[in-house]
Amino acid sequence: MQKPHRILLDRVSAYADEAAAFMRRRRVARRPFARLYYAGGRSADHAQDSTAGAELFVVAGRLIEVAGSKKGAR
């Protein structure tokens, strides 16, 4: 049988692992991307540092600015 303080340590380390995994997932999910879909279901990703990708991100930024932050501001 494990000593009580060992159970506590295991639990704390399990929570720390969970938190680290959550942060890893969040970091991956927050990475910006530009994805284009073509006829036939083909899709292509363009990195932000590529020529096409950079242009797409610039225009997307302008559209985000036009839309503003308020939902459906008419």
Partner 1 sequence: MTTVVIQEARARDTVDIFTQMPDAAAATAPSGESAEAALAFLAEMSPDLRGAAVLGPEGEVLAATGEEPERWGEDAAALLAAADAAEETPVEQVHIATEQGEVFAIRNGGLTAVAVTERFALASLMLFDMRSMLRELGKGSA
Of 6, 8, 33, 47, the residue at the interface with partner 1 (CB under 8 A) is 33
Determine how many CB atoms are found less than 10 A away from the CB of residue 23: 10
Nearest residue to 46 via CA among 61, 37, 36 = 36
> Which residue, 14, 58, 5, 7, is CA-closest to 32?
58
Its sign, for the CA torsion 48, 52, 58, 62, is negative
Q: How far is the CB of 49 from partner 1 (least distance, A)?
A: 14
Applying CB under 8 A, which part among 1-9, 13-21, 38-46 lies near partner 1? 38-46
**Residue among 6, 24, 25, 62 that touches partner 1 (CB under 8 A):** 62
Give residue 36's identity as a one-letter amino acid code. Answer: L
Closest distance to partner 1 from the beta carbon of 28 (Å): 12
Contacts with partner 1, residue ranges (CB under 8 A): 29-30, 32-39, 44, 46, 52, 55-57, 59-64, 66-74
